[in-house]
Amino acid sequence: MIPSIHTQRLVLVAATLEHIVTELEDPSRLGPLIGARVPEGWPGEYDRDVHRVVAETDASNSASQRVLERNGFARAGRGREATSVRYEKARPSSNE
């Protein structure tokens, strides 16, 4: 289960790849997916220019690496930390 953070006013839900893909492909499905009311026009146009997603994981964490690879990420070299590896996934162009 993905943890969430609860405050008096809101619940913060960790974003998953499914959430991101849904928001990019069909924002109207995001609210039901996360169990929340999503305001009209969310999130605006700020993230529509995303060309790639970058993830890093520890080089010894083979399970995390498999999850990234199953979700279309490709190994892209060393991460920022000495023991991490970097993965990237390009966003498909709009004409694909």
pLDDT in tens, the chain (96 residues): 667 788 888 888 788 889 888 888 888 898 899 888 888 877 666 556 678 889 999 999 999 999 999 999 999 999 999 999 999 998 776 555
Q: In what order do the strands lie in the sheet with 74-78?
A: 52-58, 84-90, 74-78
The pLDDT value given to residue 45: 64
H/E/C letters for each residue in 3-65? CEEECCCCEEECCCHHHHHHHHHCHHHHHHHHCCCCCCCCCCCCCCCCCEEEEEEECCCHHHH
Q: Which two tokens stand for residue 33?
A: 């997916």
**pTM (predicted TM-score):** 0.51
Q: What is the pLDDT of residue 43?
A: 65
DSSP H or E segment with residue 68: helix 62-70
Q: What's the pLDDT at 86?
A: 97
